[in-house]
Every structure is written in C-alpha cells, then in structure tokens.
Structure 1
Amino acid sequence: MPMNFFGFKETTWTFLLVLIVLLLGIVVWLTLWVKGLLERRAFRRLMRRAKNLERQALQFLERQGFRCLQEQAERESFFLLNGRRIPFRVRVDYLLKRKGRRYIAEVKTGKQVESPENPSIRRQLLEYALLFAPCAVLFVDGEHEKVYEVSFPWLGSLPRTTRWMWIVCFSVGFLVGRWSRGW
C-alpha cells in the first residue's frame, strides 16, 4: 500500500481534502448569509428613517399651510412600444392643497436629497407634472426641511389646449348630431 507524506494513506488525504473544501463552502455560505442579513437590516433601518423623515416633511408642509388630500397618490397611464400599449403607474408622496391651489409633493431623504437640477430627479418631476396636471410640483428636502416649487412653464399650455380641444369636439359633435336629425 503506497504511503503519502507524514505517513498518511491516500484515502486519508482525500478525506482531509473533501473536509477542507466542505468547511470552506460552509464558511463562504455563512459569510454570504450574514452579509445578506446585515444588508437587509441596514435597508430596513434606512426605510424606517426615510418614512419617519417623510412624515416629518408632511408636518412641516402642514405648518406651511398645506393640507394633505392624499398620501401616496397614484396615476395610471401608458405608452406605446412598437404599437403595443404598455401600462405604467406613478406614485407621488403627497397630494396637497393650499389657498385653493393643488400641489403634488415628492419628498427625498438621505443620499437621494439632491437638487431638482439633477437630471434623473428633473425627469421624475416632469413625469409627475405631466400626469398630475394641473397640480404644481413641490420638491421637498426631507433632511433640511426645504421646499422647492418646480414648474415647467411650457407645460401650462397643455391642459388649456386639451380643454379647448374637448370643448371644440363636443360642440362639433353636438352640431353634427343636431344637423343629422334635421334640427
């Protein structure tokens, strides 16, 4: 029977090698599991903090004279992709009212608090402005209790144009209907 180093047989070396690989696998699995656990805990803590700052932002807005009409207000819409209708939904933090004017508020906290000049935030606010028109858009820095009113001046003409288009279509439909019956 052949002998290996230190007087161990080949089967003993094979057993030790399998045992080492198995132990390394367990250590790697435990490391990944603990890392995932710590990341989930950190994420939950971050979400709790963000929710808390969001509530504080609402209290700040209420002190500024805003009245909350709805939290997590949603709008549904769609876009066309090669002629196929793709639905989507957007959600803003708050739908507010002050002095007869309606607002939507997007609260950012933590590392998300940047300027509305940031392209990704600007695009998000533009999407909200389009879908929640004619509401004004508020960007709220939940960390520092700052409120920025964001407006897209060229957007203001869209709802009026749409309104006139509906009035014209209704009027034409009414006149055609009356004309077809012989007045």
Structure 2
Amino acid sequence: MGHYTDGLLMVLITGIVIFLIYRGLQSWVRKPFTLRSGIGFHYNEEIMEHPAVDLLEQSGFEIVSDKLKVPLVFKVNGNVLHSRLFIDYIVTKNREMYLVKTSRERLTLEWTGSGVRRELLPYLLLYPECAGVLYVDTDLGDIKEIALTSDEDEDESAY
C-alpha cells in the first residue's frame, strides 16, 4: 500500500507543478507589451511658484521636479533630426509617479480620443513606468488624470 500512496502523491505533485508552470506562462504571454525608455529623468529640483504647483499640492501631490526638456533625436534615411518634449512637472502621490502638462492658452487640448492621443501619447509611451499624465487647467482649477489603457481593461472592470 505504501508504493501506491507514494506513486499517487508523486503524480499529484507533478500535476500541480505542471499546472503552475502553465498558469505562469499563460499570464506571461498575455502580459501587455510595453516600451522601455532609455531616456531618464534629470530632475530639476528648483520649483518655481506657479498656480499649477499650488493646485497640485492642494490635491495631495508632491512636486518632485519642475520643468524638464526631454531631447529627442531621430535618424531618417541617414539624416539626424532633433526635437524635444517638454514636461511641466513630475509629481508623486501614493508611491505613483505622474508627468504633468499644464494648460496653455495658445494650445488648447481637444478632449477627444484623437486629441488626447496627439498631445499626450508620446509621454505615456516614452515613460510607461509612470502612472499617467496629469493635465492641469489652472484657469478652471481642474486636474485630469490620463492613463493609457486598453478596451480589455475596461471590459474587465465592468464585471
């Protein structure tokens, strides 16, 4: 009877290990693809007074860095093209890091899918480790949190 129990126990343990490996591989394969940016932050710790700073602090955010210029270099058919992105602030709240863009009178953000994509997607793709982008409208005293998600995420939250 001892041989029968030992064999059954080995089959059971082997089955559990195979199941766990299968589940691990399944979740790894379904994990969304993310870009990893080699462009790091060089914090600007001198925070200038601005209505957006007051609004962010009142909402519980800690300002980590003031305005940053992110240089970008593109190579197109052997020609080097230079550009840059500007980040107004980097803030943290509940251990999450957010990039901040403030409203501009000359550059109003169109609150449609294509408008948000055009203006904010580069930041979300360049720094996927950030929890999102905060859009601060100082005229309205409003902060909007924008995060890149998928329809699958929305479908799961509906249940």
Which structure is higher in RCO with an 8 Å CA cutoff and minimum separation 6? 2
Q: For structure 1, list consecutive stretches of 5 or more residues without a partner in the other structure.
A: 1-51, 155-183
Map 1:161-176 → 2, pairs under 5 A:
none
1:96 counterpart = 2:94: no
| Aligned residue in 2 for 1:133 | 128
In structure 2, how many angstroms separate the alpha carbons of the residues matched to 1:118 and 1:146?
A: 19
For residue 58 of structure 1, report the CA deviation from its aligned partner. 1.6
For residue 89 of structure 1, report the CA deviation from its aligned partner. 1.9
1:81 counterpart = 2:76: yes
- How many residues align? The count is 102
Select which of 139, 143, 146 maps to 2:139: 143
The amino acid across from 2:100 in the alignment is A
Q: Secondary structure at the match of 2:88?
A: strand
Q: CA RMSD of the aligned region, Å?
A: 2.5
Contact kept? 2:101, 2:136, Cα under 8 Å: yes
Q: Secondary structure at the match of 1:61?
A: helix
Q: Flag the structure with higher helix content.
A: 1
| Aligned residue in 2 for 1:70 | 65
Q: For structure 2, list consecutive stretches of 5 or more residues without a partner in the other structure.
A: 1-47, 151-159
In structure 2, how many angstroms separate the alpha carbons of the residues matched to 1:139 and 1:124?
A: 11
1:59 counterpart = 2:74: no
In structure 2, how many angstroms separate the alpha carbons of the residues matched to 1:134 and 1:83?
A: 31
Map 1:6-85 → 2, pairs under 5 A:
55-85=50-80
| Aligned residue in 1 for 2:112 | 117
Contact kept? 1:113, 1:143, Cα under 8 Å: no
